[in-house]
Structure 1
Amino acid sequence: MPGGLSRTAVHSRRRALAKTLCYRLLMVAITVCIAWLVVGDLDDAVNIGLLANVVKTGTYYAYERLWDRVRWGVSTPA
């Protein structure tokens, strides 16, 4: 395998990606349903659901990148 990855590692990444995408789709659906109940308009609810989840995904990515810089709680190899 290229890059020294085992077949299991590639499978795990694909599985994690599939789970992540399914979760985000579920969250979009929930957000759209709640927004629809609140605003009463399906088009507005879809726009809210999509925008909110794009912002949340971007925020989470930035949050993870920030934590990559924090050394607290990370052990160094001996």
Structure 2
Amino acid sequence: MKDQSHKRHLAKTVTWRLVGTIDTIVLAWIISGNPATGLKIGFAEVITKLFLYYFHERVWFKINLSKDGKVLESRKRHLAKTFTWRGIGTLDTILLAWIISGNPLTGLKIGFAEILTKMILYYLHERVWYKIDFGLSSRKRKK
């Protein structure tokens, strides 16, 4: 059977980007005090983060973190993915917010505010997708 994982990773990319963009727009608006700045930063991230997230998914799909032949428990794997993605995502946000606002401090504030909100949202996103079989021919799940 043809590998359907690309479809899954594309779907996860789109759903996560929707959640992430809304979060970024709201945080950037609150921190900058300017809704236009929030929208500019949020929409700039759509482009950069779609690519970054897709490649992050592909790398994690190929990583086999097994111990003694046992697959890493899903919650630990999701936590590890959460931290690696957040590092990449925060760096991207800081740079974009700095460039768009013209203020490095604004970029740092938005990036660091996102750390908590995005990690919670990303973990929940991973848990939801763990329950969905879309794009998988078969799998063995651990709870």
TM-score, scaled to structure 2: 0.33
Show the counterpart of 1:60.
122
Larger RCO (alpha carbons 8 Å, 6+ apart): 2
Cα gap change, 1:27/1:58 in structure 2, threshold over 3 Å: closer, same or farther? same
Aligned-residue offset at 1:29: 1.4
- Gaps of at least 5 residues in structure 1 are none
Letter in 1 for 2:95: C
Taking the TM superposition and a 5 Å limit, the aligned residue runs for 1:1-78 are 6=68, 17=80, 21-67=83-129, 70=131, 73=133
Aligned-residue offset at 1:54: 2.5
**Identity in percent:** 24
In 2, Cα distance between the equivalents of 1:44 and 1:54?
Answer: 17
The 10-residue stretch of structure 1 (20-29 or 52-61) with the greater mean CA deviation from structure 2: 20-29
Show the counterpart of 2:47.
none
* RMSD of aligned Cα (Å): 3.6
In 1, Cα distance between the equivalents of 2:111 and 2:129?
Answer: 27
- Gaps of at least 5 residues in structure 2 are 1-66
TM-score, scaled to structure 1: 0.53
Cα gap change, 1:37/1:20 in structure 2, threshold over 3 Å: closer, same or farther? same
In 2, Cα distance between the equivalents of 1:26 and 1:39?
Answer: 20
Cα gap change, 1:24/1:66 in structure 2, threshold over 3 Å: closer, same or farther? closer
In 1, Cα distance between the equivalents of 2:124 and 2:87?
Answer: 20
Paired residue total: 66
